[in-house]
């Protein structure tokens, strides 16, 4: 349910998010003092600066890593963040999510909203696309995340002058169709908190982009731990938000399989507040029939080359878009496959728009989805990349523009699909199988 897009909304988002696959080492780990956990009965309980050798348990508890272990850089970020919020006390902000919000985005935005409330900053969380993954729909229904869908048409009729700032959470504006209108309205970008690779030259008052963080929920949890808001198990909204954060953390880390130390520490902290039954209910949500059909098509159509599994799934409805990352999740589980790419043409009946949407999933640690997709598909005329990613996941979106439209006959649709299918495949195979010669003129 995470989505993974970069410049495009990451189709992964739904369970995907297109995040950057960064191979860099975790700088936090390097910045941190070493600690004994659990305390070593023979030595110093907390090896940070405890020079007097006093190792009573009390001290250990107080300096529990959840509560206090932050690098100077983190301390500084928290301080900057607090000051930014303080400067905008009383002003209304709009929190913009990617078009296909995933649990990481939803829960992180909610947390931001709760923090902002402490500074008397009212916020509206908005997205332009669709909640497509069954787990995302369940999450929103069961927790009541305060969320508004603004279509591209609707946003043009809104009074945007009430907003003093745009907040981008788990994205950098490249995956939201709303950004154009917000830019025209001259609303400054006040805050960006994200973990995708840097997408665009954005200027914002406060920027916290950590490509090594596996989830934006980890970053927001650290803000909670730093004291920007005090979670209370007796407040239902807090419990629900914590549950959403746990879901966001899990879904962006492949159920914590890809989590790193700081993600585990965030999850450990959140575990004090979340509702396991509620999370279970979200995770139990069943796949819809159209999603099953798309997975079936991806299986039938896949070709495997050099351990890459590639499958085009044809046309699908906007509401079923999340079937693409789910199919990629499935294809990557095949023996001798390390990377799966699934794509299709998503049709938005309201707007008569068609977009080629694709998702990449990989288990290959040396493959950077962000780099791979940027190289495969390049940029549009504005210099914006068609795709990007994060760790082990990526996505792309290529607008069809003039060739959009569903009114044609079957024959024509088939022709159109065949062309796009061949083009996408060709671009991918050029990278996957460079020895093979492709016809000249293919770029
Ligand atoms: Mn994310």
Residue 398 CA to ligand 1 center (angstroms) comes to 21
Query: Higher pLDDT residue, 1 or 287?
Result: 287
Average pLDDT over residues 330-354: 91
What is the reported pLDDT for 69? 57
pLDDT of 99-125, one tens digit each? Answer: 989 999 999 999 999 999 999 999 999
What is the reported pLDDT for 247? 97
Residue 313 CA to ligand 1 center (angstroms) comes to 25
Residue 434 CA to ligand 1 center (angstroms) comes to 31
What is the reported pLDDT for 294? 95
Among the listed ranges 150-159, 195-204, 234-243, 252-261, which one has the minimum average pLDDT value?
Answer: 195-204
Whether the predicted pLDDT of 66 surpasses 70 = no
Residue 254 CA to ligand 1 center (angstroms) comes to 11
pLDDT of 171-211, one tens digit each? Answer: 999 889 999 999 999 999 999 999 988 877 778 999 999 98
CA distance 167 to 191: 5
Whether the predicted pLDDT of 437 surpasses 80 = no
Residue 412 CA to ligand 1 center (angstroms) comes to 38
Residue 435 CA to ligand 1 center (angstroms) comes to 35
| Dihedral (CA of 430, 436, 437, 438) sign | negative
Residue 422 CA to ligand 1 center (angstroms) comes to 31
Residue 202 CA to ligand 1 center (angstroms) comes to 18
Entry pTM:
0.72
Residue 205 CA to ligand 1 center (angstroms) comes to 21
Whether the predicted pLDDT of 31 surpasses 50 = no
What is the reported pLDDT for 352? 77
Residue 218 CA to ligand 1 center (angstroms) comes to 9
Residue 154 CA to ligand 1 center (angstroms) comes to 26
Average pLDDT over residues 34-53: 36
Using a 10 angstrom Cβ sphere, with 0-12 exposed, 13-18 middle and 19 or more buried, the burial of residue 104 is: buried
What element of type H or E holds 139?
Answer: helix 134-143
CA distance 132 to 282: 14
Average pLDDT over residues 121-150: 93
Average pLDDT over residues 228-243: 97
What is the reported pLDDT for 88? 98
Residue 140 CA to ligand 1 center (angstroms) comes to 17
Among the listed ranges 43-52, 166-175, 178-187, 318-327, which one has the minimum average pLDDT value?
Answer: 43-52
Residue 269 CA to ligand 1 center (angstroms) comes to 19
pLDDT of 376-411, one tens digit each? Answer: 999 998 888 999 887 788 999 999 988 887 666 788
Dihedrals phi, psi of 146, to nearest 5 degrees: -75, 105
Whether the predicted pLDDT of 1 surpasses 70 = no
Give the mean pLDDT of the chain.
84
Tokens of 278: 């509620």
Residue 58 CA to ligand 1 center (angstroms) comes to 36
What is the reported pLDDT for 249? 97
Residue 355 CA to ligand 1 center (angstroms) comes to 22
Residue 427 CA to ligand 1 center (angstroms) comes to 26
**161 near 106, Cβ under 8 Å?**
no
Domains of the chain by range and CATH?
11-21+66-281 (3.90.1640.10), 33-65 (no CATH), 289-432 (3.10.310.30)
Residue 3 CA to ligand 1 center (angstroms) comes to 7
- The H-assigned helical ranges of 185-322 are 216-223, 236-252, 261-270, 276-283, 289-301
Identity of the highest mean pLDDT range in 17-31, 207-221, 386-400: 207-221
What is the reported pLDDT for 202? 79
Residue 105 CA to ligand 1 center (angstroms) comes to 6
């Amino acid at each position: 349910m995470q989505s993974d897009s970069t410049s495009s909304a990451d189709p992964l988002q739904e369970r995907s998010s297109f995040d950057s696959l960064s191979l860099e080492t975790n700088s936090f780990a390097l910045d941190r003092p070493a600690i004994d956990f659990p305390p070593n009965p023979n030595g110093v309980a907390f090896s940070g600066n405890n020079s007097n050798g006093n190792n009573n348990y009390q001290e250990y508890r107080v300096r529990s890593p959840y509560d206090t272990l932050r690098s100077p850089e983190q301390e500084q970020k928290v301080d900057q963040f607090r000051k930014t919020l303080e400067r905008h006390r009383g002003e209304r902000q709009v929190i913009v999510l990617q078009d296909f919000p995933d649990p990481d985005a939803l829960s992180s935005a909610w947390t931001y909203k709760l923090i902002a409330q402490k500074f008397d900053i009212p916020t509206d969380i908005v997205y332009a696309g669709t909640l497509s993954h069954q787990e995302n729909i369940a999450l929103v229904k069961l927790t009541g995340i305060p969320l508004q869908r603004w279509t591209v048409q609707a946003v043009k009729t809104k009074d945007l002058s009430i907003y003093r700032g745009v907040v981008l959470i788990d994205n950098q504006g490249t995956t939201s169709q709303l950004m154009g209108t917000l830019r025209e309205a001259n609303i400054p970008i006040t805050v960006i908190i994200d973990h995708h690779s840097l997408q665009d030259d954005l200027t914002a008052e406060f920027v916290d982009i950590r490509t090594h963080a596996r989830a934006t929920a980890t970053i927001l949890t650290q803000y909670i731990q730093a004291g920007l808001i005090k979670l209370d198990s007796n407040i239902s909204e807090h419990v629900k938000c914590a549950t959403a954060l746990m879901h966001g953390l899990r879904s962006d880390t492949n159920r914590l399989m890809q989590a790193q130390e700081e993600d585990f520490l965030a999850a450990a902290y959140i575990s004090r507040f979340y509702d396991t039954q509620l999370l279970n209910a979200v995770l139990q949500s069943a796949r819809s029939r159209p999603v099953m059909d798309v997975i079936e098509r991806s299986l039938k159509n896949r070709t495997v080359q050099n351990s890459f599994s590639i499958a085009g799934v044809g046309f699908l409805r906007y509401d079923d878009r999340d079937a693409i990352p789910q199919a990629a999740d499935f294809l990557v589980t095949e023996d001798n496959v390390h990377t799966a790419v699934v794509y299709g043409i998503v049709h938005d009946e309201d707007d008569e728009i068609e977009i080629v949407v694709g998702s990449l999933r990989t288990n290959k640690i040396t493959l950077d989805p962000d780099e791979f997709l940027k190289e495969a598909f390049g940029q549009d005329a504005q210099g914006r990349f068609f795709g990007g990613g994060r760790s082990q996941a990526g996505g792309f979106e290529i607008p069809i523009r003039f060739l959009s439209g569903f009114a044609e006959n079957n024959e024509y649709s088939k022709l159109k699909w065949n062309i796009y299918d061949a083009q996408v495949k060709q671009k991918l195979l050029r990278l996957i199988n460079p020895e093979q010669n492709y016809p000249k003129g293919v770029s």
